Amino acid sequence: MDSHDEESPLVADSSPVQTPKQNHARDVHILSSAFLLIFLAYGAAQNLESTLNTEEDLGTTSLGILYLSFTFFSLVASVVVRRLGTKNALVLGTTGYWLFIAANLKPTWYTMVPASVYLGFSASIIWVGQGTYLTSTARSHAKDCNLHEGTVIGNFNGEFWGMFASNQFVGNLISLAMLSDGTEGSTSGTTLLFVVFLCSMTLGTILMCFLTKRNHNAEDGTQDSSVGVYSTVVSLSKSLVTLLFDARMLLTIPLIAYSGLQQAFVWAEFTKDIVTPALGVSGVGGAMAVYGAFDAICSLAAGRLTSGLTSITLIVSGGALIQAVVFLWLLLIYRLTSGVLGIMYPLLMAAMLGIGDGVFNTQLNALLGILFKHDTEGAFAQLKVWQSGSIAVVFFVSPYISLKAMLVVMLAALCLSYAGFLLLTLKKNYKHKCLVPFCSITEVVHRLVEVEVINNTLLL
């Protein structure tokens, strides 16, 4: 008998073949690095719009149009992402940022306005795609490695937003280095800067192509790609509308809107009214680099500390307090001074505002990923609708409102949004003890009827 026959088992091994686990962390690294390369260019260019393109307020108006377009297209972005798939949506979304930077090589109303409108569309799908892709990756990683889902979502969001926030540090250092020699107003200096930015964006787009395709719909048990366009549009439109009647989303929307307001305040008001008078136009890059550095550090730390709703509540409370201190400082105490303190104060405030932004970015994304795990496209579409809408409002009203009036608005928005967030956390914590919160009125009535029937039965 052949030796191979002697060694072969009489009964075939029926144990299931284990497939190698996918390296989900690799996709997070790629996604974070690609966004860093793309947004270090866009973020720095956005900070310079109000100082470089000053003719007829072209820069500020273009940004207002951009975020207005962003708001509108965010209403339908989830449909586009669902049809294209998250990876294809991410790659397509990069094209709008590339075109916007290219338009800045010859900034006119005929180049900037169309580029801003298209960027609004591109931004809507890239950000809905990002939120959906990152949450799906975190869930897959938690499932494959038997880890706590909320912790993995927090860690992945911390890594992404930490890398993303560092775009402000890297991008503004590049602009500071290339414009600090007095070329900030020259055509050659700005042209070279935007060419460097275009190269960075091209690398980011290429890197995005190496992401793994993910079937997010299959994970959630929702519609697959064979469903018709009309059915998908109807389904996701209902999803968007339904979320507006969800108490959890209604209590989260004010905080989402505030997160957009505080970002626009830094871009439009803080750089113009605080940094520029104290440090000059070339100092905007340095101040925003400090902002980005602390934003990145805080994002990484906050992501690591996130494990669930309780940790999110504590971290958001800290971020809200820090930003409230900055607004009160500017409103009641701050005066433009010379010397070392005149330089240090704007940099310190930039650091504190960066910490707050890092908190809101990581915690809002983690919160939506935890609360709306069965409808992430709709949830992240709502995030971008309200966030970009509030940013657009700031850019449009910025030329017509004073700094003190804006600070009062920011403080009021912060208090209102934080109150809504606290109510949300109280209701969610109470839900674990009682099943009534967040259920529909019909369900409450049914439960009351059941209790009444039981009582009557006991009496009989």
Other beta carbons less than 10 A from residue 429's beta carbon: 13
Tokens of 284: 């905007």
Return the pLDDT at 302: 87
Burial class of 403 by CB neighbour count within 10 A (0 to 12, 13 to 18, 19+): middle
- Split at pLDDT 50, 70, 90, the class of 180 is low
Burial class of 459 by CB neighbour count within 10 A (0 to 12, 13 to 18, 19+): exposed
278-301 residue pLDDT tens: 887 767 778 888 998 899 899 888
The whole-number average pLDDT for the span 236-251 is: 77
Would you list the DSSP string of 212-246? Answer: PP--HHHHHT---TTS-HHHHHHHHHHHHHHHTT-
CA–CA dist 91, 129 (Å, integer) = 10
> Helix %, strand %, coil % for the chain, to 5?
85, 0, 15
Tokens of 171: 């991008």
Three-state SS string over 15-39 comes to CCCCCCCCCHHHHHHHHHHHHHHHH
For residue 276, give the H/E element and its range.
helix 276-279
Q: Which one, of 65, 44, 128, 46, lies nearest residue 92 by Cα?
A: 128
- Split at pLDDT 50, 70, 90, the class of 8 is very low
The whole-number average pLDDT for the span 359-384 is: 85
| Residue 271, amino acid | T
Q: Which one, of 203, 154, 183, 152, lies nearest residue 33 by Cα?
A: 203
The whole-number average pLDDT for the span 31-41 is: 94
Query: The pTM is what?
Result: 0.72
Q: Where are the beta strands (DSSP E) in 45-170?
A: none
Q: Which residue has the tokens 């607004």?
A: 327
